[in-house]
Amino acid sequence: MSELPRAVQRERTAIRRVSPSRPIRVAVADGVVSIDTSVFDYGCGHGADLRYLESMGIACSGWDPVFAANADRVEADVVNLGYVVNVIEDPHERVEVLRQAWALARRLLIVAARLSLEADLPSRPNWFSDGFLTARGTFQKLFEQQELREWLEESLGEAGIAAAPGIFYVFKDASARESFSASRFVRSYPSQIASRYQTLYEQHQQDFTSLAEFLSERGRLPRPEECAAAAALEAELGSIRRAVLVLNKIKGAAAWEQARDRKANDLLVYLALSRFPKRCKFSELPNETQLDVRAFFGTYSCACEQADALLFSAGKQAVIDEACRSASVGKLTTDALYLHDTALHEMPAVLRVYEGCARVLVGRVQGANVIKLRRDKPKVSYLYYPGFESIAHPSLMGSLRVDLRRLRVNYLDYGSSDNRPILHRKEQFVSPAHESHTKFMRLTKQEEDHGLFDRSELIGYEQHWNELLRSRGLRITGHRLIRQRGGGVETR
């Protein structure tokens, strides 16, 4: 690549990610990238896409002018040029890079670029060349969808197929292009190939089940010594990757992808909190954790760098506030997010680290089952609500509050109070997968239908709540609201 203007800092464009990029996810979902294809990532950055593909058993390699400059640029069935052309400020060099990537593709080139509709321009853009410079000194050229299509065809002499907004496939073979296009508009029917995969699966079902359990737990391919079933399938089918291909054809790959993201995030949270008191050496990690680090992050230093960035983010209250508001589970109030302890692992990673910092200080709080994450101050509280599962509106018995700024802990005991705070809308505290979620939600609906939540100041404490029920001729049995009429009862 040509010498950069001093104003442009291309080395800052690569984003450190745990999850794969959108173009790679789309390509895997469309089936143009699979166990049967090799992939070359042109401009691979820190290598997140390569680690993802490797975990799926897909042969891949990559090159990057900054982070993998010594790697070879080699041919592959599929070449990914993801979000590269939009960061090149020289229009002539942009075309040259596109053509170099195209020359390496045996079957397909994937091109992704940022679109105008996906980006927020600065209020006063620093215009440069045919784009603008960001606050970090990087260059961005924003395309329109049709503009990107026309630029690809003009530069390569081949028509691209829109895979998604900002993502195009350019096929080397016209018949392959038309075959893919047709597949998007016709139904699929069982085939002899599908039957062959089904036959292989049925012949070795026990081993495939064990392999699936490993993938769901670890989110990566096993070593033969880690999974006897994988070793048996490798001996029978020739490779672990082919075994995963069969499994994906029968069961789909979505579960393994989710497992990979989940495991990678778990590892980041662990490494972030391992700074207290001192992070161990790589050689001191359990062998399976070392394999996880290599599969998800490439190197221990890269994993630790991302973990440190996560830990630093947890110290920014604005980041915590945004994460609380975006969390899919939990009861959000004006100053905090409340959640049941069973939902903690479903929180964004930065909130898990935020809570983990408090737990590093105080350890596990016995009996606490509701966690309060303050959005406006660096404070985490552990609340004890006995009978959360069995009592419709459990009372608060105790609260341990951790002040992360002052590193202080204090405890409030509500056990002797005759008017304790109580919980409502318990379904908001737990995951939708929680076994009692439907039961909790049904009670909340009954209470809403009777207007019991119309005045929030009357429902927060035991005495007020019980008086409100009596005044309405209602009582609660289990998790059902019952109206009492003239000595009889009517279940609602």
> pLDDT (tens digit, 9 = 90+) per residue, 248-287?
888 877 778 888 888 999 999 999 998 887 888 999 888 8
Residue 21 and residue 156 in one domain? yes
Q: Domain for residue 365, yes or no?
A: yes
Q: Write down which residue in 208, 235, 252 finishes a domain.
A: 252
Residue 350 and residue 391 in one domain? yes
Residue 102 and residue 196 in one domain? no
**Predicted pLDDT at 394:** 96
Residue 239 and residue 128 in one domain? no
Q: Domain for residue 283, yes or no?
A: yes
* Separation CA 183–CA 135 (nearest Å): 43
Domain CATH for 122: 3.40.50.150
> pLDDT (tens digit, 9 = 90+) per residue, 174-197?
888 877 876 665 544 444 555 778
Q: Domain for residue 99, yes or no?
A: yes
Residue 166 and residue 44 in one domain? yes
Q: Domain for residue 342, yes or no?
A: yes
Q: Domain for residue 424, yes or no?
A: no
Residue 389 and residue 376 in one domain? yes
Counting the structural domains of the chain, the total is 5
Residue 264 and residue 232 in one domain? no
Residue 330 and residue 448 in one domain? no
Q: Domain for residue 160, yes or no?
A: yes
**Segments forming the whole domain that contains residue 367:** 322-413
Q: Domain for residue 429, yes or no?
A: no
> pLDDT (tens digit, 9 = 90+) per residue, 5-52?
455 666 655 566 667 899 999 999 888 998 889 999 999 988 889 988
**Mean pLDDT in the chain?**
87
Residue 39 and residue 179 in one domain? yes
What is the value of pTM for the model shown? 0.69
Of 128 and 287, more confident: 287
Residue 147 and residue 91 in one domain? yes
Beta bridge partners of 213: none
Residue 169 and residue 215 in one domain? no
Residue 307 and residue 332 in one domain? no
Q: Domain for residue 26, yes or no?
A: yes
